[in-house]
Chains A and B, each alone.
Chain A
Amino acid sequence: AQSVTQPDIHITVSEGASLELRCNYSYGATPYLFWYVQSPGQGLQLLLKYFSGDTLVQGIKGFEAEFKRSQSSFNLRKPSVHWSDAAEYFCAVALNTGNQFYFGTGTSLTVIP
């Protein structure tokens, strides 16, 4: 069965510090991989996606993610966190863009000044 695991329920970082959010998946094949961000009371915004090719992908707002097939992981990173990055982050997988997306339970990010 398909599943997405985000081991960290909540992370607190200082503004300007680096960030890494973990995501592991279980899927029958190499899926399409996504990271979304959700601010309070809002829908989900796509940060970045991986379909194939270069395993390091760049996204919006200075985020990047690295796909590691051997570890079934797709971790999200940012070199320097800004206070506006405080939000809920969701990792998702899908067979392709036309299929249902499977989401993790999310990681809540708090940024302290």
Chain B
Amino acid sequence: DAGVTQSPTHLIKTRGQQVTLRCSPKSGHDTVSWYQQALGQGPQFIFQYYEEEERQRGNFPDRFSGHQFPNYSSELNVNALLLGDSALYLCASSHSSPLHFGNGTRLTVT
């Protein structure tokens, strides 16, 4: 039974560019949440998707957007990248359960 899978594992982008991160939830899970973890910090909630709709959103600007597909997989898009967007981006899935996390995508903005 595959857990939460994220791609790519590492990514280097230039300031001002756009990036798309992908996530496949654990089998049986229908809810996907995205978190940003800056170096030395705990994860910060970006948003949550359920039934292809954004259900909750944290304190992140509109440059951060997402999507959920009918198969429950999800994408996180970040536009106009800033140096401060460099972080580990974690996807977590759930179904009336605690969050199950993927190993994350390490994004470096130069």
What's the A-B contact tally at a CB cutoff of 8 Å? Answer: 56
What A residues does B48 contact at CB under 8 A?
Answer: 100
B101 within 8 A of A: yes
Q: Mark B30-60, 1 if CB is under 8 A from A, else 0.
A: 0101010000111111001000000010100
Partner of B58, one of A41, A46, A98, A100: A100
User: Is B45 in contact with A100, judged by CB distance below 8 angstroms?
Assistant: yes
Residues 34 to 91 of chain B near chain A (Cβ within 8 Å): 35, 40-45, 48, 56, 58, 90
CB-CB under 8 A from B103, the residues of chain A are 41-43
Assess whether B94 is interfacial by the CB under 8 Å rule. Answer: yes
Partner of A45, one of B33, B42, B94, B101: B101
Measured in the bound complex, the distance between the Cα atoms of B31 and A59 in whole Å is 24
Residues of B within 8 A of A (CB): 4, 31, 33, 35, 40-45, 48, 56, 58, 90, 92, 94, 96-104
| A102 CA to B99 CA, complexed, in Å | 12
How far does the Cβ of B10 sit from chain A's closest Cβ, in whole Å?
10
Pick the contact of A43 from B4, B42, B56, B98 — CB < 8 Å?
A: B4
Query: CB within 8 A of B42: which of A99, A100, A106?
Result: A106
Interface pair A97/B94, CB less than 8 Å apart: yes
Return A10 CB to nearest CB of chain B, in Å: 11
Tell me the smallest distance from the CB of B37 to a CB of chain A, in Å.
9
List chain A positions with a Cβ less than 8 A from chain B.
4, 34, 36, 41-46, 49, 90, 92, 97-106
B33 CB contacts on chain A under 8 angstroms: 100-101
Residue of chain A at shortest CB distance from B4: A43
11 A-B residue pairings within 8 Å (CB atoms):
A34-B98, A42-B104, A43-B102, A44-B90, A44-B101, A46-B99, A90-B43, A101-B35, A101-B45, A106-B41, A106-B42
Q: Are A43 and B104 CB-contacts (below 8 A) given A90-B42, A90-B43, A97-B97?
A: yes
Contacts of A102 in B (CB 8 A): 45
Q: How far is the CA of A104 from the CA of B101 in the complex (A)?
A: 16
Q: What's the nearest-Cβ distance from chain A to residue B34, in Å?
A: 10
